[in-house]
Amino acid sequence: MTQAWYLTVPGMMPPLDTGFRPAVLANRNFCAEVKASGHGVPLVIAVEADAGAVSCYRTEVFSTKDKRFEDNFPIVDRIVKFLLWQRGGWRVVVGGPREVGEYIRSAYLPAGARAFDANLMTEVYGNPFTVEVTTADRVPAEKMTAKPLGRHLEGCRIGFDLGASDRKVSAVKDGQSVFSEEVVWDPRNHADPQYHFNEIMAALKKAASYLPRVDAIGGSSAGIYVGNSVRVASLFRGVPKNLFESRVRGLFHEIQQAWNNIPFEVINDGEVTALAGSMSLGVNRILGIAMGSSLAGGYVDKDGNVIGWLDELAFAPVDYQPDAPLDEWSGDRGCGAMYFSQMAVNRLAPAAGITLDEKKTVPERLKDVQALMAKGDTRAQAVFETIGIYLGYTVAHYADFYDMGHLLVLGRVTSGKGGDIVIARAEEVLRKEFPELAQAVKLAVPDEASRRVGQAIAAASLPQFKL
């Protein structure tokens, strides 16, 4: 397949994916050509979310005078997709050449290539998703809504973290963990909401047995949550829609009632990842990513606040090669979940010559590859080297969209020797390809214990109350 001129072969090639074409290199190559053409015109993309929050992204594209004008379309498509899942919103305003805006509008129609994204945003925000086309000077002004999050550790608290393959819980007394546990579970294959309720309650009750009382409960979970209400979450994909609406959407309100309505807060696991990093490292301007059953993200700004973005980086494009891996849920190619998760290991292992047991679950297969890595198997090493090189280029890509000084990396994929290789290769990419970023952005990895249960402890700090 002929590749677009702006797709750039990386200086460090992932050993198991020679077709990898990093988004960051393509975007930068495109921008350089626009500038050199002398025919660049402004393009402003605004994304509106809850409560009138608006974020804006500014760049330049080829004008209609340039023969490469239509090359604007695929690049802007990828940028809008990234912004939508980074920042979240129900309305996108494209200010610039009308043809570019109309191309994006058509992609998000019910029969368009991005119908999945439009439908999900409608479900999250409760408003019909729309794309509006205007000129660059008429795009809505930016309006950000940052808010303080967590860092409350006084009293007796329980924190939990719900992933697609395991659930973690911690009992915390005056800032000190007195109990932590990790239990394997399989929420996505259970259609009965009572299973989810029982599992979460069992974890909370066990943690409570290690405390003299329970003052507050805080939790993180894969998915999108607003006001403790479940908007969209892969954990509940097995639940029929009618039961989702009648039982799952208000599941955490039901659990709070079971605990006598004590202070209770549940948010996206990516946000708690960033909070955990900010608390443990004592820094702000931090992006946290968790490589688990999927890819979770969260961001803390320079003031230590969460700015209300989605940070659902599982759906954000990182690879522009035409034959990039296909995400089964969204139907799109080259998105983060297929590069930084258990699914990535599962995808790359056969390419490395590792035969996986198809009867095992994806988390079990990850453990098998990690066991090979622990023995020094060179095939397993190639898997984690590939993910590490992916990560290096993607850190540079994220830095074009986030003001960040630190990247915290955790999740099951980063456990053991494989995780060490992932970080080492990512840092090598930054040193060789992006030396300015290697100095400006520091990669941080918690110790093994913090990687696995630290998120639950940070989650415990979410609710605020007076003793």
Q: Do the Cβ atoms of 312 and 270 come closer than 8 Å?
A: yes
Domain boundary among 113, 138, 163: 138
Position 436 in a domain:
yes
Q: Mark whether 331 and 412 lie in a shared domain.
A: yes
Q: Mark whether 325 and 198 lie in a shared domain.
A: yes
Measured distance CA(162)–CA(456) in Å, rounded: 9
Question: What local confidence, expressed as pLDDT, does residue 232 receive?
Answer: 85
Measured distance CA(123)–CA(125) in Å, rounded: 6
Q: Mark whether 338 and 460 lie in a shared domain.
A: yes
Q: Mark whether 169 and 111 lie in a shared domain.
A: no
Question: What local confidence, expressed as pLDDT, does residue 447 receive?
Answer: 64
Task: Please give the C-alpha separations between residue 324 and each of 2, 55, 371, 384, in angstroms, as whole numbers.
Answer: 14, 29, 28, 18
Q: Sign (positive/negative) of CA torsion 69, 71, 73, 75?
A: negative
- For residue 59, report the phi and psi dihedrals to the nearest 5 degrees: -155, -170
Q: Mark whether 191 and 70 lie in a shared domain.
A: no
Q: How many CA atoms lie within 13 A of 97 on its CB side?
A: 20
Q: Mark whether 73 and 49 lie in a shared domain.
A: yes
Q: Mark whether 111 and 156 lie in a shared domain.
A: no
Beta bridge partners of 291: 295
Read off the pTM.
0.88
Question: What local confidence, expressed as pLDDT, does residue 279 receive?
Answer: 84
Q: Mark whether 277 and 309 lie in a shared domain.
A: yes
Task: Per-residue pLDDT tens, the chain, 467 aa: give them.
Answer: 568 999 999 999 999 999 999 999 999 999 999 999 998 999 999 999 988 899 999 999 999 999 999 999 999 999 999 999 999 999 999 999 999 999 999 999 999 999 999 999 998 998 999 999 999 999 999 998 777 778 898 999 999 999 888 899 999 999 889 999 999 898 988 999 999 999 999 999 999 999 999 999 999 988 888 889 998 888 998 999 999 999 999 999 999 999 999 999 999 888 888 888 888 888 899 999 989 888 989 999 998 888 879 999 999 999 999 999 999 888 999 999 999 999 999 999 999 999 999 999 998 999 999 999 999 999 999 999 999 999 999 999 999 999 999 999 988 899 899 999 999 999 999 999 999 999 999 998 876 545 544 677 889 999 988 77
- For residue 34, report the phi and psi dihedrals to the nearest 5 degrees: -60, -45
Q: Mark whether 392 and 434 lie in a shared domain.
A: yes
Position 221 in a domain:
yes
Position 205 in a domain:
yes
Those residues with Cβ within 8 angstroms of residue 197's Cβ, 6 or more apart along the chain or in another chain: 251, 254, 255
Position 27 in a domain:
no
Position 420 in a domain:
yes
CATH number for position 279 = 3.30.420.40
Q: Mark whether 155 and 296 lie in a shared domain.
A: yes
Position 328 in a domain:
yes
Task: Please give the C-alpha separations between residue 105 and each of 6, 380, 409, in angstroms, as whole numbers.
Answer: 23, 43, 35
Position 32 in a domain:
no
**Mode of pairing for the β-strands spanning 166-173 and 224-226:** unpaired
Q: Mark whether 92 and 192 lie in a shared domain.
A: no
Domain boundary among 81, 112, 138: 138
Residues 272-290: b if buried by 16+ CB within 10 A, e if exposed:
bbbbbbbbbeebbbbbbbb
Position 415 in a domain:
yes
Q: Mark whether 134 and 154 lie in a shared domain.
A: no
Quote the domain boundaries for residue 227: 146-467
- For residue 182, report the phi and psi dihedrals to the nearest 5 degrees: -125, 125
Domain boundary among 90, 116, 138: 138
Residues in the chain: 467
Question: What local confidence, expressed as pLDDT, does residue 458 receive?
Answer: 87
Structure tokens at 20: 């990898």
Residue showing tokens 């109350």:
465
Instruction: Specify the number of domains making up the chain.
Output: 2
